[in-house]
């Protein structure tokens, strides 16, 4: 009887947590989707901004982010609303795991690539004026950041043999029990190091060195460096990177702690709270565009005033 009562408490507690997460996620998703549409409309109607390489990379990042908002976050909202997986099938679980894993990794790799490329844009922009070098050093890494996770998880999740009994239809993303995580330690370790930890390490190192280089360049060759422009580009990148660091580092640290000393309480904290922090990336990234692309803010205010401005009517003279 006591065990049944304890089970009811756990179930009710989980339902309450999911209800709160549902409200918070939906309240962030809808404005983020609207703002994403406005971002795309801005670039469509102001294509001159796409000639800037840094804006091209940001647009690719926003496209991946929009896919996350419209697909993966929608699956999350659907789960939180029902408090269970529906449809409760292994095929659905594989699709969700593939979608979230691919988009998370693509998002992180894109941020890492942009962090590295910003060094070239700031200190050696002339290199990218040559078409061949621009394709090799700029467009190819962006393409890799998008294509590699899709191909890797196609083999690791979709085509990997899996026992459907491993899925937990009461947990987010079916318990995240990807078959290779429990059956193939080598592949699981590679995934954690390369696809999760490595992009965050690159983001930290690239941004730290960028700040140091910008400061050194300012003092050494201030007469040839437009400090205001470089400062703006640096702050733009740091604002994005800080979002990735704040959301991913707790997951990486908790993952390391699980490897050293796995406990049920730590797993519950990671499952119910820490792992959900990564959703904040795609939910908050569109709002950063207001500061990342200064002209977008001006354009947005202009559209707002145009809608708000009353139409003057001229009455007939009798």
Calculate ∠ Cα 178-184-186, nearest 5°.
120
DSSP state of 139: I
pLDDT value at residue 6: 42
pLDDT value at residue 304: 78
Q: How far are the Cα atoms of 17, 44, 103, 315 from residue 72, in angstroms, in the given order? A: 19, 25, 8, 53
> Per-10-residue mean pLDDT for the chain, 318 residues long?
42 76 94 93 86 86 94 95 91 92 94 89 84 91 94 91 83 77 81 90 87 76 56 68 84 75 70 82 86 78 75 48
Q: Is residue 147 part of a domain?
A: yes
Q: Is residue 65 part of a domain?
A: yes
pLDDT value at residue 110: 94
pLDDT value at residue 10: 45
Sign of CA dihedral 133, 134, 139, 141: positive
Q: Is residue 303 part of a domain?
A: no
Q: Are 192 and 255 in contact (CB under 8 A)?
A: yes
Q: How far are the Cα atoms of 106, 142, 310 from residue 306, in angstroms, in the given order? A: 37, 36, 8
Q: Is residue 227 part of a domain?
A: yes
Looking at residue 223, which CATH number applies to its domain? 1.20.1070.10
pLDDT value at residue 283: 94
Q: Is residue 113 part of a domain?
A: yes
Q: Is residue 145 part of a domain?
A: yes
What is the pTM assigned to this prediction? Answer: 0.84
pLDDT value at residue 14: 73
pLDDT value at residue 300: 83
Range of the domain at 228: 2-298
Q: Are 234 and 214 in contact (CB under 8 A)?
A: yes
Q: How many domains does the chain have?
A: 1
Q: Are 128 and 120 in contact (CB under 8 A)?
A: yes
């Amino acid at each position: 009887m006591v065990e049944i009562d304890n089970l009811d408490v756990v179930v009710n507690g989980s339902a309450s947590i999911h209800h709160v997460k549902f409200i918070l996620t939906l309240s962030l998703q809808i404005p983020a989707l609207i703002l994403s549409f406005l971002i795309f409309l801005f670039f469509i109607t102001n294509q001159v901004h796409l000639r800037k390489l840094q804006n091209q990379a940001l647009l690719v990042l926003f496209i991946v982010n929009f896919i996350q908002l419209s697909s993966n976050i929608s699956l999350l909202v659907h789960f939180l609303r029902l408090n269970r997986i529906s449809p409760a099938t292994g095929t659905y679980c594989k699709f969700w795991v593939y979608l979230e894993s691919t988009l998370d990794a693509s998002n992180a790799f894109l941020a890492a690539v942009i962090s590295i490329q910003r060094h070239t844009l700031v200190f050696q922009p002339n290199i990218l004026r040559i078409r061949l070098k621009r394709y090799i050093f700029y467009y190819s890494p962006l393409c890799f950041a998008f294509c590699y996770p899709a191909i890797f998880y196609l083999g690791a999740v979709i085509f990997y043999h899996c026992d459907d009994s491993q899925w937990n239809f009461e947990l987010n993303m079916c318990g995240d029990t990807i078959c290779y995580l429990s059956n193939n330690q080598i592949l699981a370790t590679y995934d954690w190091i390369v696809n999760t930890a490595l992009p965050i390490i690159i983001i930290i190192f690239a941004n730290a060195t960028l700040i140091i280089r910008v400061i050194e360049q300012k003092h050494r060759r201030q007469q040839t460096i437009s400090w205001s422009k470089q400062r703006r580009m640096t702050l733009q990148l740091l604002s994005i990177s800080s979002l990735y660091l704040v959301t991913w580092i707790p997951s990486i640290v908790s993952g390391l702690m699980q490897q050293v000393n796995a406990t049920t309480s730590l797993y519950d904290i990671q499952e119910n709270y820490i792992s959900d922090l990564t959703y904040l990336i795609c939910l908050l990234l569109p709002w950063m565009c207001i500061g990342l692309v200064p002209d977008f803010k001006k354009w947005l205010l202009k559209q707002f005033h145009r809608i708000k401005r009353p139409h003057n009517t001229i009455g007939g003279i009798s």
